[in-house]
Amino acid sequence: MKLAVVGVTGLVGQTILKILEENNFQVDELIPIASEKSVGKTIIFNQKKYKVCDLKTAINLNPNIAIFSAGKDVSLEWAPKFAKKGTYVIDNSSAWRMNDNIKLIVPEVNISILNPDDKIIANPNCSTIQLVVVLWNLHLKYKLKRVIVSTYQSVSGSGFKGINQLECEAKNINPQINAYPHQIYLNCIPHGGNFLENDYTEEEMKLTNESRKILNIPNLKLTGTVVRVPVKGGHSESVNIEFSKKPDIKKIKEILANTLGITIQDNPANNEYPLAINAEGKNDIFVGRIRLDNSNEKAINLWIVSDNLRKGAATNAVQIAEYICDNFIIL
């Protein structure tokens, strides 16, 4: 098994390596790939040393799987080249997510639609992944009608730049490069990605469009507000879900408790509910504050928290890679 990780020196790339090790993923030869400035650097994986190479070198090594986490432009240029050589490409960027010919996959929801001919597979946005895992089984029971989401997204979602800005501001140091147009320390910024013509941001429209595609509900009414908060790791979401049928709150909790990848933390009497600080470093999606909407008998409210670098990116990608190994690759 030859596995390439593109963008291996970034936050998500480093997290991918951790999860591959934790999952005992079979890797006979790791091909770590990064930009020219990182070529030649040494990384350690499974107690072995590997030298970082560039994309031109890597493609000639014919990896079985390549997990890309190096940005949209790199993926648009190189994913088709790797795929043409027979490599399965799992892409973490936004490059292919809304392409009609590319599958957008969250294993707990729609992994069954993959087939051996799908050489480029898109990994969704971090905030989308944790949302759709919660929505899917609830939809099967009660049929989604409308979803309203407010996200509270950590600075690690902006990579090293976001973390650096928060840490510098906390020490009253001016960061050399800002990830955000305003101070993030002791602040909340209702701004994720560029603003679009409809006055929504890119991150907000990703929530809407990607959820519709993954859930296979093209006309789902879903609207979101994305907020960046001074939290180092872990994205949180306040979600209002309206169904076509009147829900039973006990059944809702039962469905969520039996959903693979979800951990329920919902005991208000003991102040037990999901917290970003507790989700960091874990692969599960944590759900709490589950309650009926007191203004709509067909709706509920809940709170979702997940580590955006793990299930929101790296863990989801590794899960897809594991499925490909188990079903499509004969070594």
Distance CA(141)–CA(20), nearest Å, equals 34
DSSP track, 56-83: HHHHTT--SEEEE-S-HHHHHHHHHHHH
Note the helical H segments in 119-194: 126-142, 159-170
- Yes or no: say if 232 and 160 are a contact pair by the CB < 8 Å rule: no
Closest CA to 290 of 322, 255, 261, 315: 255
* Active-site choice (53, 139, 235, 325): 235
Q: Is 235 a catalytic residue?
A: yes
Which one of the listed residues 126, 182, 188, 325 is annotated catalytic? 126
**What beta strand segments (E) does 210-275 contain?**
221-228, 235-243, 262-264
Q: Are 6 and 88 in contact (CB under 8 A)?
A: no
Answer for the pair 5, 14: CB distance below 8 angstroms, yes or no: no
Q: Is 191 a catalytic residue?
A: no
> What is the set of active-site residues?
126, 235
